[in-house]
Structure 1
Amino acid sequence: MKGLYCRAAATDAEPKFLIRETSLPELLDSHLVRVQVKACGLSPLDLKVPFFSHI
């Protein structure tokens, strides 16, 4: 699964966005749910996400 993760900066700098390949656990705890997101939108006014041409 590919994911877009936001890493908070140590200082007041802007957050850093990373694309990572991860694997999901087969079994979930009783208080967790698994969802599949097919689309997501981010507002450029709230966060500045760098353009990823390799996606």
Structure 2
Amino acid sequence: MSFQKKIVIQDKATLHKPRVCGGIADLRPVNEEDLQVWDMYKEHLEKKIQDQFKVPKSHTL
């Protein structure tokens, strides 16, 4: 039995919405402070994973 995939290409224009994050009250646009917090969180998780699984520092996660 032979299986074939159909590839569907849509000719619709994609709509790019501004990045938003969930605030306490409502959604709001992402700002520089949000990006800094994300970078700190990412660095913390990478260090934790490298320490826990003994991943060399030369490897990027």
Structure 2 length normalisation: TM-score?
0.20
More helix by share: 2
More strand by share: 1
Structure of higher CA gyration radius:
2
> RCO (CA 8 Å, sep 6+): is it higher in 1 or 2?
1
